[in-house]
C-alpha cells in the first residue's frame, strides 16, 4: 500500500519505520533467549533484561527456591520505555554463570536444555537473518 508523504516528512517516516524494526528485533531476541534458557528454579530465565546503552541489571537475587517465569513477549526494559534510533540495545543476562552456560562444553557448565555451547550466538545469527523479513513486513504496514 502506497503512503503519501510530504517531502518534509520523509525523515520522520523513515525514523518511525526504523524504530519499529529495532523494537521487533529486540523483542524477538529477548523472547528467543528467554524461551531457550535452561530451567531449574527459573532464576536464569527470569534474569534476562534489555538495556538501552546500559547493562546494569544484576539479575534476580539468589536464595529463592523458585522464580516467577518471565513473559517472553514483554521484554524487561531497564532504564527506558521505548526503543529509539541512535541508541544501543543489549539483551543480556548478568548472572555469574551466564557466560559458562553459553561457552562451556556439556557437563562442564553448559546445559543439555540448550543443546550445548553456542546457543546465544546461534540465536543472534537467527534473529539477524530475520531482519530483512521483519523490515519487509514493517514496510508493508500502513
pLDDT for residue 79: 93
In contact, 115 and 75? CB cutoff 8 Å: no
pLDDT at 1: 55
Sheet with strand 89-92: strands edge to edge: 77-78, 49-52, 89-92
Of 38, 78, 72, give the one whose Cα is nearest residue 58. 78
Tell me if 93 sits within 8 A of 55, measured CB to CB: no
- The pLDDT, as a whole number, for residue 107 is 74
Rounded Cα–Cα distance for residues 54 and 8 (Å): 33
pLDDT tens by residue, the chain, 142 residues: 577 888 988 889 899 999 999 999 999 999 999 999 999 999 999 999 999 999 999 999 999 999 999 999 999 999 999 999 999 999 999 999 999 999 988 777 778 888 778 999 999 999 999 999 999 999 998 7
Q: Residue 113: what pLDDT? A: 85
Q: What's the confidence (pLDDT) of residue 4?
A: 83
**40 contacts: CB under 8 Å, gap ≥ 6:** none
Cα–Cα distance between 109 and 91 in angstroms, integer?
21
Amino acid at each position: 500500500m502506497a503512503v503519501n508523504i510530504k517531502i518534509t516528512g520523509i525523515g520522520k517516516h523513515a525514523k518511525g519505520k526504523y524504530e519499529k524494526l529495532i523494537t521487533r528485533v529486540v523483542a524477538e531476541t529477548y523472547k528467543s533467549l528467554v524461551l531457550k534458557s535452561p530451567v531449574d528454579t527459573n532464576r536464569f530465565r527470569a534474569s534476562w533484561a534489555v538495556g538501552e546503552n546500559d547493562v546494569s541489571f544484576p539479575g534476580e537475587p539468589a536464595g529463592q527456591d523458585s522464580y516467577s517465569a518471565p513473559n517472553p513477549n514483554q521484554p524487561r526494559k531497564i532504564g527506558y520505555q521505548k526503543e529509539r534510533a541512535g541508541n544501543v540495545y543489549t539483551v543480556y543476562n548478568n548472572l555469574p554463570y551466564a557466560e559458562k552456560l553459553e561457552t562451556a562444553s556439556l557437563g562442564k557448565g553448559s546445559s543439555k536444555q540448550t543443546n550445548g555451547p553456542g546457543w546465544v550466538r546461534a540465536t543472534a545469527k537467527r534473529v539477524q537473518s530475520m531482519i530483512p523479513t521483519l523490515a519487509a513486513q514493517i514496510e508493508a504496514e500502513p
